[in-house]
Amino acid sequence: MSTTTASPLRPRVTTAPDGAGPGPGPAPWWASAVVYQVYPRSFADSDGDGVGDLRGITSRLDHLVDLGVDVVWLSPVYASPQDDNGYDISDYRAVDPTFGTLEDLEELTDALHARGMKLVMDLVVNHTSDEHPWFVESRTSPSSAKRDWYWWRGPREGMEGGAPGAEPTNWRSAFSGPAWSLDEASGEYYLHLFSRKQPDLNWENPDVRAAVHEMMRWWLDRGVDGFRMDVINMVSKDVAADGSLPDGRDADPRTGLAGGGEHYLCGPRIHEYLAEMHAEVFAGRPEALLTVGEMPGVTVADAQRFTDPASAEVDMVFQFEHVDLDHDGSKWHPVPLDLLALKASSGRWQAGLAERGWNSLYWNNHDQPRIVSRWGDDSPEHRAASARCLGTLLHLHRGTPYVYQGEEIGMANFPWASAEQLRDIESVNHLAEEVGHGGDPAEVLSRVAVSSRDNARTPVQWDASPSAGFTTGEPWIAVNPDHARGWTVADQADDPTSVLAHYRRLVALRHDWPVVALGDFTMLVPEHEQVYAFTRRLEGEGPDGAPAADELLVVANVGSSPVDLTDLLPEAVAGPGRDLELVLGTVPGDGGGDDADVAADPVLAPWEARVLRRG
Ligand code: TEU
């Protein structure tokens, strides 16, 4: 089985019909693209200061070419005090010196374009840094010309500013504590759904929106190919005509705080704002661009409207339904994944966006723990197989897959031993809050260790050298010690059985087989607790222009024990009257058999996945 070409087999359908994608016409380029997310602090350090940077990324582009990805999504590199690792921006048109210069970014952009890849920047405009000149001016006084660029409110009726519970609403910040902070000088509070150094912009103010649009056009004019829009469904708040904002329901009796999301997730003017942004920034531009909106709490119905091309809002959204499935009320109370729940959720999103709109597909990003540790099995025996299995499942769904740096080599969660090792503001604040409420530090750490965003942020493991080839300096966050045990790019690059080799095949399969990008999705055995199976079907034209059809059957064993398909899913086992060919398998040749044997073997090995083509 070759390491780069997806499969010795060739697709029957080489041309998809119009309407097979998100809308009526020909499918857009990004419907068959694969996006690779780079978290610049942890990708590659070129100057030995222990923090990744732009020149480090440019120096490692061959790895992305080798993987075959089409787009790089770059997490923020803008000027920032780094309170939330760059998601707190103090200048949208400058690169933070930690990461380099505008020239370095231009060099990266050109280098990507020269290799046929595109660059999508992170757009963080629900909030700025409190060190952004807009907020600095807004804070000067209640009569500041930019006061209404942010959310300023006086203390709760009848209460003294600074008193417990005097915040204008009972909303909780995502990083613990109230979502309002008092400005002593004016006696007013400002809203920050994230850290107190990330004040929310007031999108009710048309000047704010115009300034954002202008900044976006500035980046597109510099050759950027699109935006990943940070918590973009939070920019419309449920404000009353008198300017008041409502309390959230179900407040936590310990703190009196509530999420409040019902008052700012997909708020009353969100579609108006996104349609206006599209008209002001993207409409009429000749470039082939991509936009994806990160939208916590978004539903299938919302996503249908957001991503329907007729809406002219965004191309796709990041939804959170699946990554909240193993949370008992909060991410800090992790529970084992129920595969039935995952299949039900994926099935809903696949069906919901089958006719109109488009899905993004992801297991990992810089906010989620590593999937092989989370839903796979990162024990030495099963780690590689479960990484290949989970990758296959994700990449064979209908939608645009996102590969997060390190996922392609099966990187796992870090063995956190002490709170001092943590860097993420969300994790650090939560740990302090829980211990402050009397929690046992070791017990709290054990839960934070499972869900912390820092699991995604340990340096990429390029080789087995002391700092995994990430830096010649002292890394800003610890390198996972397993880099000395083969979990590196160098160890896997020339190994056809590696996780990396398999991710290359998955990317190639999506490029070579239109049915993978555009085929209809049908879930199979939804009731089975260990087998995840579905079909993908596409009718179109063959190489000769004649009508043709391709139907793939994907079957995966999402567990560490073998599964027999004989009775469960006989149609997935090749045999008399069941013409099935193996397009791609995850058990690379070590069965000694050829592809036909694999297709005819009724037993799925632990974490084995097969992509079969029906005759
Ligand atoms: O994340 C928003 C978001 O939903 C996360 O805060 C998520 O709830 C949490 O991390 C899950 O634990 C975006 C960015 O991706 C994140 O890195 C930023 O911290 C946040 O917005 C604020 O900009």
Closest residue by CA, ligand 1 atom 10: 367
- Tell me, what DSSP letter sits at residue 22? S
Q: Which of 83, 122, 200, 294 is catalytic?
A: 294
Instruction: Kindly tell me if the per-residue pLDDT of 2 is higher than 50.
Output: no
Predicted confidence at residue 596, as pLDDT, reads: 81
For 227, the enclosing helix (H) or strand (E) is strand 226-229
Task: For ligand 1, pick from 130, 231, 404 the residue to mutate: most ligand atoms within 8 Å of CB.
Answer: 231
φ, ψ of residue 215 to 5 degrees: the values are -65, -40
Helix axes 425-436, 441-451, angle to 10 degrees: 150
Contact (CB, 8 A) for 79 and 96:
yes
Contact (CB, 8 A) for 6 and 503:
no
Catalytic status, residue 280: no
Calculate the average pLDDT of the chain.
96
Distance (Å) from CA 194 to ligand 1 centroid? 8
- H runs (alpha helix) in 308-377: 339-352, 371-374
Catalytic status, residue 230: yes
Contact (CB, 8 A) for 388 and 499:
yes
Task: For ligand 1, pick from 39, 367, 457 the residue to mutate: most ligand atoms within 8 Å of CB.
Answer: 367
**pLDDT tens string 124-156:** 999 999 999 999 999 999 999 999 999 999 999
Residues in contact with 21: Cβ distance below 8 Å, sequence separation at least 6, in sequence order: 27, 28, 31, 358, 518
Closest ligand 1 atom to the C-alpha of 175? 6
Q: Which of 230, 315, 407, 426 is catalytic?
A: 230
Instruction: Kindly tell me if the per-residue pLDDT of 182 is higher than 50.
Output: yes
Q: Is 271 helix (H, G, I), strand (E, B) or coil?
A: helix
Closest residue by CA, ligand 1 atom 18: 87
In a 10 Å sphere around its CB, with 0-12 CB exposed, 13-18 middle and 19+ buried, how is residue 513 labelled? buried
Closest ligand 1 atom to the C-alpha of 87? 23
In a 10 Å sphere around its CB, with 0-12 CB exposed, 13-18 middle and 19+ buried, how is residue 121 labelled? buried
What is the C-alpha to C-alpha distance for residues 506 and 547, in angstroms, rounded to an integer? 26
What is the C-alpha to C-alpha distance for residues 80 and 92, in angstroms, rounded to an integer? 9
Closest residue by CA, ligand 1 atom 12: 367
Closest ligand 1 atom to the C-alpha of 124? 23
Question: Long-range contacts made by residues 376-380, C-beta under 8 angstroms, separation at least 24?
Answer: 376/607, 377/560, 377/606, 377/607, 378/412, 378/413, 379/560, 380/485
- Span 586-598, average pLDDT: 69
E strand intervals along 339-495:
360-361, 400-404
Predicted confidence at residue 615, as pLDDT, reads: 81
Say which residue, 615 or 516, is predicted with more confidence.
516
φ, ψ of residue 390 to 5 degrees: the values are -65, -35
Sheet bearing 547-557, strands edge to edge: 520-524, 531-541, 547-557, 609-614, 580-585
Closest ligand 1 atom to the C-alpha of 88? 23
Rounded to 5°, the CA angle 470-471-472 comes to 145
Find the residues whose C-beta lies inside 6 A of ligand 1: 84, 87, 124, 174, 194, 230-231, 294, 296, 331, 366-367, 426, 453
Predicted confidence at residue 595, as pLDDT, reads: 80
What is the C-alpha to C-alpha distance for residues 478 and 397, in angstroms, rounded to an integer? 34
Contact (CB, 8 A) for 518 and 538:
yes
Our CA dihedral for 432, 437, 442, 448, rounded to 10 degrees, sits at -60
Our CA dihedral for 63, 495, 473, 80, rounded to 10 degrees, sits at 40
- Span 16-44, average pLDDT: 97
What is the C-alpha to C-alpha distance for residues 358 and 398, in angstroms, rounded to an integer? 8
Report pTM. 0.97
Task: For ligand 1, pick from 39, 123, 230 the residue to mutate: most ligand atoms within 8 Å of CB.
Answer: 230
Instruction: Kindly tell me if the per-residue pLDDT of 436 is higher than 60.
Output: yes
Question: Long-range contacts made by residues 593-599, C-beta under 8 angstroms, separation at least 24?
Answer: 595/1, 595/8, 599/573, 599/574
Distance (Å) from CA 35 to ligand 1 centroid? 19
Burial 275-306 (b: 16+ CB within 10 A, else e): ebbbeebbeeeeeebbbbbbbbbbebebbebb
E strand intervals along 503-608:
520-524, 531-541, 547-557, 563-564, 580-585, 603-604
Instruction: Kindly tell me if the per-residue pLDDT of 341 is higher than 80.
Output: yes
Closest ligand 1 atom to the C-alpha of 425? 19
What is the C-alpha to C-alpha distance for residues 482 and 63, in angstroms, rounded to an integer? 20
Tell me the C-alpha to C-alpha distance, in Å, between residue 210 and each of 144, 189, 276.
Answer: 19, 25, 10
**pLDDT tens string 491-538:** 999 999 999 999 999 999 999 999 999 999 999 999 999 999 999 999
Instruction: Kindly tell me if the per-residue pLDDT of 469 is higher than 70.
Output: yes
In the chain, what's the furthest Cα-to-Cα distance?
Answer: 81
